[in-house]
Structure formats: structure tokens, C-alpha cells
Amino acid sequence: MAFDPELEQHVRAALDGLPWLGEKRMFGGLAWMVDGNMICAAITPGLMARVGKAAEPGMLALPGVGPMGSGARRMGGWVLAGEDAWRDDDVRQRLLSTAIAHVMTLPPKEA
């Protein structure tokens, strides 16, 4: 099953106008990056967002948001919003705003 195209539309609308924004197919879905640093990805089963380690506890407290990773192996600074969470305008906006703010602090990656 592919990711939900509605999620792709929501993310594109939220990220519209960011400088140096790019899209790339990865993880069986679609990822958005600024200067080579991934902000988020629309994947199955939801929205993966790079919120940073400092903001991760607060984002995990949002309804429907859990840690990113498989089994005991977690990706620190990343969260996964299930369908109920990313469909919630407030939760989705908080995740994306936090991810944008975090990624904008990172140095550009070499091409």
C-alpha cells in the first residue's frame, strides 16, 4: 500500500515557499529536503518528521504520534504520525513547523 496522496498535498502546502526545497522518492514514499537535509516524508503508515532530539519528547506527547524506528531501534529526533495524527490540522502543523525550524538550523549537506 502506498502513502496517502492527501498527505502529500498537505505537506506540499505547508512547505510551499521554503528556499532550496526539494523532493525525493525514498522509503517507499516521498521525502522533502532543504539543502540536502530531510524535513519529513510521506510514507506508509504516515508522516515521518525530523523534529530534533530536544523537541522529540513534546512531539511524542501529541495524540497519534510515536517514535520512529523499528522494534527497539529508534531514530532519535524523528517521530511518526499515524493517519489520525496527520489528518489533524493542529498536530500536522505543529510537527511540520517544528521539523522546519529544526532543519533550518542544520548546515547544508555537500552535493
How do strand 65-70 and strand 46-50 relate by DSSP bridges? unpaired
pLDDT confidence of residue 1: 45
Q: What is the pTM (predicted TM-score) of this model?
A: 0.91
3-state class (DSSP) for residue 45:
coil
Residue with cell 498535498: 9
User: Which class is domain 5-103?
Assistant: alpha beta
Q: What is the pLDDT of residues 25-58, one digit of tens each?
A: 988 899 999 999 999 999 988 999 999 999 999 9
Integer-rounded Cα radius of gyration of the chain: 13
SS3 content of the chain, % helix, strand, coil (to 5): 30, 35, 30
Q: Domain boundaries in the chain?
A: 5-103
Residue with cell 510521506: 42
